[in-house]
A = this chain, B = another copy of it.
Amino acid sequence: MESFSDGVIAVAITLLVLGVTVPQPGGSLAHELGIRWPEYAAYVVSFMTIGIIWINHHAMISRLGEADHTVLILNLLLLMSIGILPFATELMARYLRESHGQTLAAAVYSGSLLVMSVFFGVLNRHIMLVKPSLLSEEVAPERRRQIFSRAVTGLLPYAIATALAPVSPYLTLGICAAVAVFYTRPVASGTESRS
């Protein structure tokens, strides 16, 4: 299951580049590249977000001793929500600077990240709280609850980002970027995980 999931996530993260477009020759290339900055910003935010999901997914899966049917299906739903991100990223990038549709496009983008977080939380809950017998080695209940709590912390900022899309799509993108930056910050060496 791990190699297949790794494959899907690796393809999805690399397909993001298809949303970064080469301008038609003719005008000023500097200007044409400049107005495409939402594409670059979206590429960076989505790439780091998917990359962090992969790190967390990998840490979760490597704790598993075996996978039951529910794990396989919930994992598929999670991968399906990751697989749609190249579309959501391109949509948001193309509409960010438009006068019409930018609110909806930003809401679809952060909403997609929210859905991904929900599926990640549901899968994590099944493994940590519902069926801990699937784990390769026993983990204390309070530790499992702690891991689950950390797994769903992404839900709130993505929900806020989606709710704030009508205020400003730039704010929505900014919150999504901030979540990615938060998870990529250096970890204090005492609490370093062996992922």
Contact = CB atoms under 8 A, between A and B. Distances in A.
Contacts of A186: 69-70
Given A3-B6, A33-B108, A20 B84 contact: yes
B13 A83 contact: yes
A17 B105 contact: no
A195 B95 contact: no
A170 interface: no
Number of copies of this chain that the complex holds = 4
A136 to B, nearest CB: 14
A22 to B, nearest CB: 5
Kindly name the residue among A54, A108, A193 whose own CB sees the greatest number of chain B CB atoms within 10 A: A54
Interface residues of A, number: 64
A99 to B, nearest CB: 9
A16 interface: yes
Contact of A20 (B16, B54, B87): B87
Given A17-B12, A83-B47, A101-B29, A4 B58 contact: yes
A10 B76 CA distance: 11
A69 B192 contact: yes
Interface in A1-43: 1, 3-4, 6-18, 20, 22, 25-26, 28-30, 33, 43
Contacts of A69: 186-187, 192-193, 195
Given A8-B13, A51-B79, 8 more contacts: A1-B58, A4-B6, A18-B18, A20-B87, A29-B100, A47-B80, A52-B76, A69-B192
10 contacts: A7-B9, A8-B13, A10-B10, A11-B11, A11-B14, A25-B100, A30-B104, A33-B104, A47-B76, A69-B186
